[in-house]
Chains A and B, each alone.
Chain A
Amino acid sequence: MSRPLSQIVQPSNPMAGNPTGPRQLSLTEELERLEQSITLTMQEIDRNFSQCHRIITHSIMPIVDKYAEHSRDLCDNISFWKSFFEDSADVAIGTYEQEATTMGPDETTNYDESTAHQEEPTELTMMQGDEEQDHTLTMQVQDEDTDSTDHDLEDESILASMNLTGRDNLGKARRVESRNGKQPKWAAIQSPYEKLKQEVQSQQSARRQLSIDDSMEESMTPPSLPAGLDALSLNDIKSSSIMDPPTTPDTLRQKQYRRGMSRVLDSPEDDSPFAPQTARQIIPSSNRTARRDPLLHRAVDTNWRVEATPKRKTPRKVNPNTTTPKHRVIPSFQDSSPMSSPPPPQITTVFSPVNTIRRFNIQPRTKIDAPQTARRDPKTPVTAKKRWDTLDPKTMTAKDLLLDDEFDDDDDDDFKKLGFSPPVTMQFTLPPSRLMQTPAKQASKMLVNDIMRSAGFRAGFAGGDDTQTTMENSIDDSPTSFVPKPALYDSD
């Protein structure tokens, strides 16, 4: 490619025999050749650009259109199940874009880890000769590597950190362990769990009925680490002061016992370390304030984050002086644990059969003959119906519930005389507006569409109204079928 220095300094050396004529001719020819080569190069560039445009418009774009169509179908089918999960967790999950101008502490660690992996992809680019190609290829590889690293870090705990199922600490514990390169050792943490379980169960042997309920609750709730182990796995370094003794499950249990002595406990499983973490989610307040939504993807200048907002608030206000039988919230100033936080959105167990039995105080048949009138409270002369009318579900406290249970017992007398259990309604805990949020409409639409498709009607069943009108038209048009009009609609 490069000419020797002698030819550059003395270009007429080969023509030394004829100094004037052939030299000018060769220059003209050289210029002509250069012009032609420039023209050819420009034609080649033009051809390449036009070919690139043709490939993009005729080959890639149709494929992208097909991909968009399929992904749209996928999203339509997913929306039902996504709303199903959202309703079950009582949160609304969405994604939003954010400019990647500022990076938090968690993102900087991710970025450092991603840049640590960027050493070996650059070796691939060393094969290229052009520096610009090297730069562009390296940037592409870095972007891919950053995305893949984000996947590795986020895929396990991206939703576990959003309290979707109330297992926030479990996800964080997993993330901490995965970052340290350790595998979670379930065998080591199961022994104190079993030990505490046996101890508490021995205490509950006198109350056999409640222990049965607890076992049923445990079988219905997702498994979790014990509370002490959650605290250990999260950030015991931050939480435990220097003066404190080393934290073990026993010391934690003693602390919980000391806290529990100053409170009125309605049920013994409230402070049990293996009870589901409902109201006492262990999140440090400093982390909670500095915490951001989990990162889903990161592009060059844009971050996509996931936000989870609770759909509704708790139905009743919790008075810190009174204790409710379930989901008791311990205020932060009373709780010595530095990792107390407001209750995050999670699956409530209000509608579980255990709580229904306990709440409405449904007794077994053997207690029918027990004297019910002795339990009547003389200080409350109002009837149960009037009392339910005056009660507000949002401001209802545990005391009201207990009194209502007694009134339910009084009302149960009639049903017990008749020999069947009293009717259990859940209207006051599940308002009608909440019922309308369930995806029942979509489910019914899908069912109708499937039935109509299987029956042979294939065109124009996008919506439920179209389906109904088509059904009615098809039925009306058929000469052999006679379907009477429903009288319910005519009466209106």
Chain B
Amino acid sequence: MKILAFDTAARACSAALFEDGRILASRLREMERGQAEVLLDVVQEVLAEAGASFAGLDRLATTLGPGSFTGLRVGLAAARGLALAGDLPVVGVTTFEAVAHGVTAVEREGRLLLVALDTKRGDLYVQAFDSTLTPLAEGEVLAPAACARFEGEGPLLIVGDGASLLREVFGQNSRAVRWSEAPGHPEAAVIARLAAAREPSPALRPIYLRPPEARLPDG
């Protein structure tokens, strides 16, 4: 089963082609913005490197969020467009899962994994996983200080592009808290592996975790 996975939810654009337990080709470009201009070229590079074509794909996979609203739209519009174009099933993976599964089992052992993603608005998208990578609660938006409560739940391993916002909250020297060496952003190769073991999503709905900013008129 050939799976094409890609991600544009955070500060990168990545794509990977996966078949029979291995990655045939992958690309990751770190970028703050501009994913819309490179995604399809990156995808085509990956297919070309693997000697594959769109017509030979069996499944697509991408990130559902949370993340940059713009990044989510770029990735999900492309996924929905490709799915429609090729009548392909799509597996949606949360950004939390994608980041969590990028952490090695050795690092995670005996620790609660806290995925903290930078919302770029001063707070964090947060979700905690146990050492088997089962989520312990729904993802949520939290101020950095509000994350202190996780310290009471056991030894922590923190990962994600928002991890740096928690340095002050937990302190550099806290023995109960460790900082993961993992990249902390979603990678298409990880998403592809996850997608191979899952059922396709019936509807590819974005996870924003934040309502649109809009104010009702007075009165």
Q: Do A and B bind each other?
A: no
Give B residues with C-beta under 8 Å from A: none
Residues of A within 8 A of B (CB): none
